């Protein structure tokens, strides 16, 4: 059932500097997680995306970019699915 | 100690949209600490509702999948998430569209406080 999603996850993981990726549904339940992305972060990922959507409710959901010293995280919502990609900066 | 924990639970409720209450009870449903908003359904706060989890988790543990940790019950307008931390039970009640994953992630934040409470409740049951 989740073959297509697994394929997408594999593709993302092959991208250079990507260390992990995670997908969650609108209830914050994890659909797929690989690499450094932890299953438990699915709910928080969706909560962050929900809060960011409130900034401009009439526009399409924004891409959120979280940055630390050596890592970064991109969060993007598409319909009911929220995806998160963890990357090394350098 | 209990007052600090209640304050902390109040703080957690504010962090999750649509979360109405967090209850820490023993397995009979007797409240140890509770943090409740006015939106929480009163019937779901009663010990006879919460204590059914004790039986359900025992039965679910017999399915051959290992010890049951969490039961999520989705209703038409509420969701109830109960966690097995025997001798304690944690119950979260939220709206049906509340972020279930976020509530599940609260487990790790509450867990450090449960050690002492669990010991106290276990001792109290021993004396009964």
pLDDT by residue for chain B (128 residues), tens digit each?
778 888 889 999 998 989 999 999 988 888 888 899 998 888 888 888 888 998 899 999 999 999 999 999 999 999 999 999 888 899 999 999 999 999 999 998 888 888 877 777 777 766 66
Report ipTM (2 d.p.).
Answer: 0.83
- Its domain, for residue B93, covers 1-120
Q: pLDDT under 70 in chain A at which residues? A: none
Residue with tokens 């209703």: B75
Q: Is residue B93 in some structural domain?
A: yes
Calpha distance B9→B11 (Å, rounded): 5
Is residue B17 in some structural domain?
yes
φ and ψ at A37, to 5 degrees?
A: -70, 130
* CB atoms B101 and A50 under 8 Å: no
Q: Domain for residue B84, yes or no? A: yes
Residue B49 lies in a domain: yes
In this structure, is residue B127 part of a structural domain? no
B41 in any annotated domain: yes
The total number of structural domains that make up chain B = 1
CATH of the domain at B41: 3.30.450.30
Q: Is residue B85 part of a domain?
A: yes
Q: Enter the pTM of the model.
A: 0.86
**Between chains, do B101 and A30 touch, taking CB under 8 Å as contact?**
yes
Closest-CA residue of A relative to B17 is A47
Residue B126 covered by a domain = no
Q: What share of chain A is helix, strand, coil (3-state, %, to 5)?
A: 30, 35, 35
């Amino acid at each position: 059932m989740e073959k297509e999603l697994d394929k997408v996850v594999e593709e993302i993981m092959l991208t250079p500097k990507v260390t992990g990726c995670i997908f969650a549904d609108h209830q914050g339940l994890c659909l797929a997680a690989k690499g450094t992305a932890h299953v438990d972060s699915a709910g928080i990922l969706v909560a962050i995306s929900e809060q960011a959507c409130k900034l401009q409710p009439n526009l399409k959901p924004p891409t959120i970019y979280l940055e630390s010293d050596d890592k970064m995280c991109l969060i993007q919502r598409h319909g009911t699915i929220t995806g998160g990609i963890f990357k090394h900066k350098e | 100690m209990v007052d600090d924990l209640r304050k902390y639970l109040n703080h957690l409720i504010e962090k999750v949209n649509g979360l109405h209450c967090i209850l820490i009870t023993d397995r009979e449903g007797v409240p140890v600490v509770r943090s409740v908003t006015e939106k929480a359904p009163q019937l779901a706060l009663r010990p006879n509702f919460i204590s059914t989890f004790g039986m359900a988790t025992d039965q679910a543990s017999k399915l051959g999948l290992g010890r049951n940790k969490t039961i999520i019950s989705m209703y038409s307008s509420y969701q109830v998430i109960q966690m097995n931390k025997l001798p304690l039970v944690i119950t979260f009640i939220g709206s049906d569209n509340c972020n279930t994953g976020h509530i599940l992630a609260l487990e790790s934040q509450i867990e450090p406080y449960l050690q002492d409470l669990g010991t106290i409740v276990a001792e109290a049951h021993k004396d009964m």
